[in-house]
Structure 1
Amino acid sequence: MDSDRPWPFEVHQLSQRTLVIIESDRFGELPHIYAVLGPKKAIIIDTGCNTASLRDFLETLSCLEGKEFQVVNTHIHYDHIMGNYGFSMASQRRCRGICQGSRSRAFSENWKANSLQDMVGASILDFAVTDWLDEGARIYLNDDEPTDEESLEILHTPGHTPDSISLYLPAENRLFSGDLIYPGSLFLYLPGSSLEDFRESLHKLRAFIASKPEGLLLSCGHIDPELPAKALEVLRKVDLPEITSPASVPGTSPSCVDQRMSAIELR
């Protein structure tokens, strides 16, 4: 990247092991990219819009010095995968692979049509997926001494797309939710979007949260990276029968989310 131009990424440290990287992109998406640090590798959750090379930027962060990378895409919309190419090139020896959910592999593999790149005028460079993640699979932060506490547990949470996943980090009681929760409406005209799947994923998510210690945090794909899970109780209204618009479902982001979006407080 031109040394005279600032990087389009803003980094905030959420905890000892978790960073959020917010990208200023030409599409106005402001994707939230997460890096979860282990002893020898960093798990990169989504790769943004490729305004500049995410891979090159990560190489400038001292906390990632010497670490290998393992990429996980929460789903294959363009604003979550455009940076994949930088981790997929043969010369990138420090990348352990690119992972996606296995629930709707055909949808994911057809990312050229399903990523929405044509709709926004994006151009995604080719990349290779190396691992398909089943429900309940774990990605360990320390492969030499793996523990469930220090791992990311995979949950299939379709609705926004059929391939959407969330990832739970027990060590921080944190759930990376991708675009299951995001500002505005749930658009049902997008390829693979499903209100029924969305409802089921919300039921699943609420049950999952109820089984975990209080204080669980949601790290979302475009909004508050530390949203208290209890704030999502208002999403129960998605179950109401009157919410049946063929185009979109209002209220998929509770008012507290929209308010917090304009004033994200990052530690």
Structure 2
Amino acid sequence: MADAWFRSVTVSPGVVKIWEPAVHPFFQANLYRISGRDRDIQLDFGTGVQSLPAFAPAGDKPLLAIASHVHIDHVGSFFEYADRAGHPLEAPFFADMRDDMAFGAMFRDHPEPLAVLPEGFVLADYRIEPAPLTQLLDEGDTVDLGDRLFTVLHLPGHSPGSIALLDERNGEFFAADAIYDGYLVDDVPGADIETYLRTMERLRALDVSMVHAGHGESFGRQRMQEIAEGYLRKHGG
């Protein structure tokens, strides 16, 4: 069932993007499996309508599951992993996945959240399973895969504990929902425009070569600067 639910494509060496094509575009996030010599990262976890690890199992290396933030489209299968990391500001929300922060009710109540209902899936029963963090990741922390090293950036605004991963050696940046090429959501509980403006200022100056975003397609530094500058102009920053 999971094989029919997810799609995947290799976007750079050792990096596979995974998504759920039957999920409404608003809830359709990009999930990334990042392979390293000594261990792997699974960054973000979809809606949980179907099991992500059933589609992309861990393999024979240790795997660290990292949630960029607590919203429904990024945490659905998070509970299925043993080693779970996220930002301390959102740790209480991962522990209970309450609707006012994870937005499970928003998905349940949407008129058409899914183009296809999997066999046996009942939308009215949909809940996000609690996934207490086993590791905290904050600004400046690193995640070492043996042959590549990621630095954690805390980029709040879309949510209080939004984090991203930067490979400073090659400039590959996994931005999650801090920035993507589309309407940037800043009007949900936990979002804050003034904080987001500071994040955009930081992103505008960030030296990267490729941005793998939480939604839509990947893009380069120039496009990231354009998106950040557009948001700053929109809000007078």
Calculate the TM-score normalised by the size of structure 2: 0.82
Task: Number of aligned residue pairs: give it.
Answer: 216
Pick one of 127, 139, 152 that aligns with 1:135: 139
After superposition, the Cα gap between the structure-2 partners of 1:156 and 1:6, relative to the gap in structure 1 and judged at 3 Å, is closer
Equivalent residue number for residue 228 of structure 1: 220
Matched, 1:79 2:73: yes
Cα-to-partner distance string for 1:183-217 (whole Å, 9 max, x where unaligned):
543344311111111110011122222xx5xxx11
For residue 75 of structure 1, give the secondary structure of its aligned residue in structure 2: coil
Cα-to-partner distance string for 1:44-65 (whole Å, 9 max, x where unaligned):
0001112321111112xxxx63
- Counterpart amino acid of 1:239? L
Equivalent residue number for residue 102 of structure 2: 115
For residue 233 of structure 1, give the secondary structure of its aligned residue in structure 2: helix
Equivalent residue number for residue 247 of structure 1: none
Give, in whole Å, the separation in 1 of the partners of 2:3 and 2:95.
34
Cα-to-partner distance string for 1:145-194 (whole Å, 9 max, x where unaligned):
xx7xx111100101111110111013431111111223543344311111
Matched, 1:243 2:201: no
Equivalent residue number for residue 86 of structure 2: 100
For residue 81 of structure 2, give the secondary structure of its aligned residue in structure 1: helix
Per-residue deviation at 1:14? 2.0
Give, in whole Å, the separation in 1 of the partners of 2:206 and 2:224.
13
For residue 7 of structure 1, give the secondary structure of its aligned residue in structure 2: helix
**Equivalent residues of 2:96, 2:131 under 8 A apart:** no
Give, in whole Å, the separation in 1 of the partners of 2:53 and 2:220.
30
**Equivalent residues of 2:200, 2:232 under 8 A apart:** no
Give, in whole Å, the separation in 2 of the partners of 1:229 and 1:43.
23
After superposition, the Cα gap between the structure-2 partners of 1:66 and 1:78, relative to the gap in structure 1 and judged at 3 Å, is same
Equivalent residue number for residue 64 of structure 2: 70
Matched, 1:52 2:50: yes
Give, in whole Å, the separation in 2 of the partners of 1:51 and 1:184.
24
**Equivalent residues of 1:25, 1:49 under 8 A apart:** no
Per-residue deviation at 1:7? 2.4
- Counterpart amino acid of 1:98? R
After superposition, the Cα gap between the structure-2 partners of 1:50 and 1:119, relative to the gap in structure 1 and judged at 3 Å, is same
Greater C-alpha radius of gyration: 1
After superposition, the Cα gap between the structure-2 partners of 1:9 and 1:201, relative to the gap in structure 1 and judged at 3 Å, is same
Give, in whole Å, the separation in 1 of the partners of 2:230 and 2:38.
43
Cα-to-partner distance string for 1:21-71 (whole Å, 9 max, x where unaligned):
122244443221101111232100001112321111112xxxx63122111
- Counterpart amino acid of 1:83? S
Calculate the TM-score normalised by the size of structure 1: 0.73
After superposition, the Cα gap between the structure-2 partners of 1:24 and 1:137, relative to the gap in structure 1 and judged at 3 Å, is same
After superposition, the Cα gap between the structure-2 partners of 1:15 and 1:183, relative to the gap in structure 1 and judged at 3 Å, is closer
**Equivalent residues of 1:107, 1:162 under 8 A apart:** no
**Equivalent residues of 1:175, 1:218 under 8 A apart:** yes
For residue 13 of structure 2, give the secondary structure of its aligned residue in structure 1: coil
Task: List gaps (5 residues or longer) in structure 1.
Answer: 89-96, 245-267
**Equivalent residues of 1:100, 1:133 under 8 A apart:** yes
Equivalent residue number for residue 13 of structure 1: 10
